[in-house]
Amino acid sequence: MRRPDQSVPKPKTAVPGLLRADAALFRGAPDDDVAAVYDRAADRYDHFRELWLRLAGQGAEDAMLAGLRAALRPGTRVLDAGCGSGVLARKMREIEPAIELTLLDFSKAMLDQAADIPGDRVQGSVLHLPFADASFDVVVSAWVIETLPDPMRAVQEYLRVLHPDGQLLYTFCSLPHGWFSRAGSAWLRAAVHRGFAGDFLDGEHTPWHDCERSHLQRFSHGLTTEVALRSCCEVGAPVLPAPL
């Protein structure tokens, strides 16, 4: 019998904080309906996002936040394309509370998680943005394009709605170079694919334009990438910088 002063030992999990219910997201065949995937994951999404940053995403996220710190001013019109639960939107509001924020996502459940964030909320697709040309000073899209059937099309849309002086920033999961990094990351790539419909983009599918006003940075052995483009950029067949 347990004495009153004995605390109940906590069960050990393979990943800190990973619940049995969370594991269900990774079972079964990957779902083709990406909105349904995120509707299902919405209430636990922030927990996985945190885990993703710890495992691989933090470098790219920090690079994007550095770009946002330089770009955000009072009144800056910002589109968070594929905003999810609004984690990044909250960070942007901390950087500059007086931005004019538009949050867009096609998952209603994800948008609902961001209901407390001041700004316009739009349920729609990043592949057909419901905004006029040149509507935003900053477009940001974190960990979205790798979930799309046509990442190039989304980035063309982001550039279309960008003001001529504007800036586009995005992060995504990318395929590392070299068999060692590919083999070592296979389990993580499979989990992201199964649980979150994310495909790690290779060079051929990476929207990118090389000029003196753009940059592309890779992190975590190439598993994540951060890109900054300007409205004059045109994305097409990419010529990527040399591997790490």
Question: Which one of 148, 175, 228, 235 is in contact with ligand SAM (CB under 6 A)?
Answer: 148
Q: How far is the CB of 37 from ligand SAM (least distance, A)?
A: 8
Question: Which one of 78, 110, 169, 228 is in contact with ligand SAM (CB under 6 A)?
Answer: 110
79 near ligand SAM (CB under 6 A): no
DSSP code per residue over 125-149: -TTS--S-TT-EEEEEEES-GGGSS
157 near ligand SAM (CB under 6 A): no
By CB under 6 A, the count of residues binding ligand SAM is 22
107 near ligand SAM (CB under 6 A): yes
Pairing of the two strands 162-173 and 224-230: antiparallel
87 near ligand SAM (CB under 6 A): yes
Q: Which residues contact 204 (CB under 8 A, 6 or more apart)?
A: 238
Task: Find, among 181, 161, 170, 182, the residue nearest to 215 by Cα.
Answer: 170
Q: Are 197 and 31 in contact (CB under 8 A)?
A: yes
49 near ligand SAM (CB under 6 A): yes
Amino acid at 171: T
- Which 159-218 positions form the footprint of ligand SAM (CB under 6 A)? 196
Q: How far is the CB of 90 from ligand SAM (least distance, A)?
A: 10
For residues 119 and 99, give the distance between their C-alpha atoms in angstroms, rounded to a whole number. Answer: 9
Q: Which residues bind ligand SAM (CB under 6 A)?
A: 34-35, 38, 49, 82-84, 87-88, 105-107, 110, 125-127, 142-144, 147-148, 196
